Chains A and B, each alone.
Chain A
Amino acid sequence: SYEVTQPPSVSVSPGQTASITCSGDKLGDKYVCWYQQKPGQSPVLVIYQDTKRPSGISERFSGSSSGNTATLTISGTQAMDEADYYCQAWDSSTDVVFGGGTKLTVL
């Protein structure tokens, strides 16, 4: 079955840029979404189709994808961005697949 892999944790200083990766075989050939989940809350879509931002999502969130890796970038990271982030892709064998999640800590 298809799998996508994320680092368990990423740390960033306030105001700096955070990058969270998602890796999978030929992931660049598939569309990737990113979700933000804060403790006790439901996930929120922050990026879809690799690079697009839903209405209401800060411009500080951006996405890219190439080869085997998709990346969520958060510029000017703020304390409010501290959360778990999940990538999600589609595959013909498993349909929807989520990454294991990355805990973003804003130090």
Chain B
Amino acid sequence: QVRLQESGPGLVKPSETLSLTCSVSGGSISSNYWSWIRQAPGKGLEWIGYIYDSGTTNYNPSLKSRVTISVETSKNQFSLKLTSVTAADTAVYYCAREIYGNNGNSEGFVYWGQGTLVTVSS
């Protein structure tokens, strides 16, 4: 069973960089799509971006200038960096794995971490 666990600081100061790591167990991080998704308090889900295999990335255009997602294959982890944060970046951050079928079509985000709350405040 694939399990994902987010970790990182729960409090980040405005203008600083938010850094989170997702540890993957029960499966290889290689040859899969790994995403970060966030949810502001009382709000809906917002996709941040994904990394595929060891390097291909794609980001939400609204966040693209501030986001970097990377993978550390040897540790079976992938990470999120979000720069120049403001209070609007306060949210529960989820890491998730998107599954693709043999026909090349997505079968959705099947595996999710429990989420970690990051508050942006001085």
On whether the beta carbons of A42 and B46 are closer than 8 Å, the reply is no
- Give the residue name and chain of the A residue nearest to B112 (CB): A42
Q: Which residues of chain A have a CB within 8 Å of any CB of chain B?
A: 1, 31, 33, 35, 37, 42-45, 48-49, 52, 54, 86, 88, 90, 93-101
Bound-state Cα–Cα, A95 to B106, Å? 12
* Known interface pairs A95-B58, A95-B60; A86-B105 also in contact (CB < 8 Å): no
Q: Can you list 14 A-B pairs, Cβ within 8 angstroms, ordered by A?
A: A31-B106, A33-B106, A35-B109, A45-B108, A45-B109, A48-B107, A54-B110, A86-B44, A94-B61, A95-B47, A96-B50, A97-B47, A100-B44, A101-B45
Main secondary structure of the interface of A (DSSP, over half): strand
Give chain B interface residues in 63-108, CB to chain A under 8 Å.
94, 101, 105-108
Bound-state Cα–Cα, A78 to B6, Å? 32
Across-interface contacts of B46 in A (CB, < 8 A): 98
Across-interface contacts of A98 in B (CB, < 8 A): 44-47
B30 within 8 A of A: no
Across-interface contacts of B113 in A (CB, < 8 A): 42
On whether the beta carbons of A43 and B47 are closer than 8 Å, the reply is no
Identify the 3 closest CB pairs spanning chains A and B, nearest first: A33-B108, A96-B47, A48-B108
B119 within 8 A of A: no
Partner of B44, one of A33, A54, A99: A99
